[in-house]
Copies of this chain bind each other. A is one copy, B any other.
């Protein structure tokens, strides 16, 4: 999607200009993986017009390979961001009805070919919420991925503006059958699956039991202000609870932190080290808050500096 944001904390309804960024949950994670040293591709469908090409160019710029159809039908999904400040939260106006991706025909994507040679497939709960063919494509992609031996991960990412919790719970529960790694927060777990518990560990244990998972992870966040948060990661892996320290973050751009966390987690899991993944994910997600745009732009050097507790003095 293309993100449009009035600069200077202006209200959308008084905007005289809008900054342009490109983002999207899966794309953000793919870009994060590139930053962490992996190669990654992003599958989507965009309109064959300047806006579609804008997204396409920016995906290339991020180092992610755009495996993208440029379609004659549909439009480019947009969202408008309005930055808040305490006591007013930031808000988003989604404008993605009728997107080329949502308008995809059945069998638009040749998944066996698209996934050939890959090690990991990642998708979020936003994609199947976009319509019946996107849901069907998600289902197929997960099945093909499993059949080809890829590891699969799903980030629940429930969006109440897209579908209701019952439908989401039913669909996501079904998709989890082809999922190895679940990214989820306790709130989504309660809303979608009715799973509640005293803490993340309790919830994650039930999710593992119910869906036959070995790994559930998510972020933790405290928000004393819109522009200053505390952030970290929590996870449950092979029956054990893990947790990172809290990071104090001065926020430049709040969006995409969870997707960056997912990239760090996958980075660790690709090396067979869940703990490493959790810590890299938390540091990478914390760092995402410090740069404008949806896509993470830190690298392992910066991640290691955070993990080592490096200070805040000017580097010169």
A residues sitting closer than 8 Å to B (CB atoms) are: 4, 7-20, 49-51, 53-54, 56-58, 60-63, 75-76, 78, 80, 82, 84-95, 97-98, 159, 161, 223-228, 247-252, 254-255, 283, 286-287, 289-293, 297-298, 302, 305-306, 310-316
CA distance A85 to B306 in the complex (A): 12
The residue of chain B having its C-beta at the shortest distance from the C-beta of A316 within the complex is B92
Out of B56, B227, B316, which one reaches A91, CB within 8 Å? Answer: B316
Out of B19, B159, B250, which one reaches A85, CB within 8 Å? Answer: B250
The residue of chain B having its C-beta at the shortest distance from the C-beta of A15 within the complex is B20
Rounded to whole Å, the gap between the CB of A22 and the closest CB of chain B is 10
Q: Is A287 in contact with B87, judged by CB distance below 8 angstroms?
A: yes
* The 8 A-B residue pairs with the shortest CB-CB distance in the complex, in nearest-first order: A12-B50, A61-B61, A85-B290, A85-B250, A13-B53, A91-B315, A92-B316, A86-B250
Q: Is A161 in contact with B316, judged by CB distance below 8 angstroms?
A: yes
Rounded to whole Å, the gap between the CB of A126 and the closest CB of chain B is 10
Chain B residue contacts of A80, Cβ below 8 A = 50-51
CA distance A94 to B251 in the complex (A): 26
CA distance A57 to B316 in the complex (A): 24
The residue of chain B having its C-beta at the shortest distance from the C-beta of A229 within the complex is B312
